Amino acid sequence: MATISQNEGSNMQQIDLMKLNIQQLSQLKQQLDSELTIFQDSLATLKMAKGKFAASKESLEQFKEGFDQKTTLIPLTGSMYVPGRIKDIENVIIDIGTGYYVEKDRDSAKDYFKRKVDFVGEQIEKIEILGYEKSQIRDAICEVISVKLQQMKAQLPQES
Amino acid sequence: MDTQAAQIQKKLQIELDSFKATQKEYSKLVQQRQQLDGQLNENQNVLEEMNILAEDKNTVYKLIGPILVKQSLTESKQNVSKRIDYISKELQKCNDRLTTIEKEQDKHRENLGKLQQQLSVISAMK
């Protein structure tokens, strides 16, 4: 009845949960629990990364024509600003990772952040699906454990 | 009889110690693999991004300490490709080592089971 498919890497494993004993089941549950925590952690990290990319894109969109004529306040520290003017509003320098930075014009910079946001979003979706599957398996295991426990309880008075 | 039991006990202890050692190395390697995997991913992303760039349109800088130094696009691409090659090789090494350790662990586990069985047989005979 409680047959689930567990996707471990490339090899699909079919395990009949009812055939496992309680010890094996709780071990499996523990394993799934730790996997779920890892998923949760990476989801949080990915969401943070997505937020950062989105914020960069947002601030790029604030750049409008004629902005180079206006005075801006440049933050030196969190609480101190000096007036300044942006010399070049057409180009920005972006950190693309591993210590490399690239100068891009505004439109391609926006495009870069859009791509990054989409990419991270895709990864988040993938992990969410995987996490959902894992939590379902976990629920199934919990159910089987409680069924087994009840069976054991029912058997006890007969033996004694 | 007791000496026999003690001997097996001793063997068991040795086996257990080496099993624990392999376990330790295993988890260390898994961690290492994770790190390498992350680095590989990051470098691949960077290379992908560089492949979209044009030499005459975009300037590439490299962060050296706190300063940005101008780099040519082709050179940067080569550099990142080289890194990817290196990391892939390291990853392969790591994976190979992991499979051998897995085999070793299985062997240890088997030996441990056998020794335990022997021990229980001896204690049952007493």
Give the pLDDT confidence score for residue A131 in this predicted structure: 95
Give the pLDDT confidence score for residue A114 in this predicted structure: 95
Name, in order, each residue with C-beta under 8 angstroms of A42's C-beta and a sequence gap of 6 or more.
A127
Q: Tell me which chain A residues have a C-beta less than 8 angstroms from the C-beta of B49.
A: 96-97, 102, 112
Classified by CATH at the fold level, domain B2-125 comes out as Helix Hairpins (1.10.287)
Total residues belonging to chain B: 126
What's the pLDDT band for B119 if we cut at 50, 70, 90? confident
Give the pLDDT confidence score for residue A6 in this predicted structure: 44
Chain B interface mutation, best of A35, A45, A98, highest count of B Cβ atoms under 10 Å: A98
Give the pLDDT confidence score for residue A159 in this predicted structure: 55
Please give the mean pLDDT across all residues of chain B.
Answer: 92
Partner residue opposite A97 with nearest CB, options B42, B64, B71: B42
pLDDT in tens, A115-134: 999 999 999 999 999 999 99
> Any idea where the domains of chain A sit in the sequence?
20-159
- Identify the DSSP state of A2: -
pLDDT in tens, A39-50: 999 999 999 999
pLDDT in tens, B43-83: 999 999 999 998 888 899 999 999 999 999 999 999 999 99
CB contact under 8 A, A98 and B60: no
Buried b (16+ CB within 10 A) or exposed e, B78-103: ebbeebbeebeebbeebeeebeebee
Residue A20 in tokens: 């496992």
CB contact under 8 A, B61 and A101: yes
CA distance A26 to A141: 8
Give the pLDDT confidence score for residue A19 in this predicted structure: 79
Please give the mean pLDDT across all residues of chain A.
Answer: 86
Partner residue opposite B58 with nearest CB, options A97, A98, A104: A104
- Kindly identify which residue of chain B lies nearest to residue A109, measuring between CA atoms: B58
CB contact under 8 A, A101 and B68: yes
> Any idea where the domains of chain B sit in the sequence?
2-125
The Cα-based distances of A48 to A62, A129, B32, B49 in angstroms read: 21, 19, 24, 21
Q: Which amino acid is at B108?
A: H
pLDDT in tens, A70-104: 888 999 999 999 999 888 888 999 999 999 999 99
Query: Residue B16 phi/psi, 5° resolution?
Result: -65, -40
What's the pLDDT band for A1 if we cut at 50, 70, 90? very low
Looking at the predicted structure, is the pLDDT value of residue A10 above 50? Answer: no
ipTM (interface predicted TM): 0.73
Partner residue opposite A102 with nearest CB, options B42, B45, B60: B60
Chain A interface mutation, best of B59, B72, B73, highest count of A Cβ atoms under 10 Å: B59
Chain B interface mutation, best of A8, A10, A88, A100, highest count of B Cβ atoms under 10 Å: A100
The Cα-based distances of A133 to A5, A32, A52, A57 in angstroms read: 10, 11, 28, 33
Classified by CATH at the fold level, domain A20-159 comes out as Helix Hairpins (1.10.287)
CB contact under 8 A, A100 and B60: yes
Give the pLDDT confidence score for residue B38 in this predicted structure: 94
Question: Helix (H, G, I), strand (E, B), or coil: what is residue A79?
Answer: coil
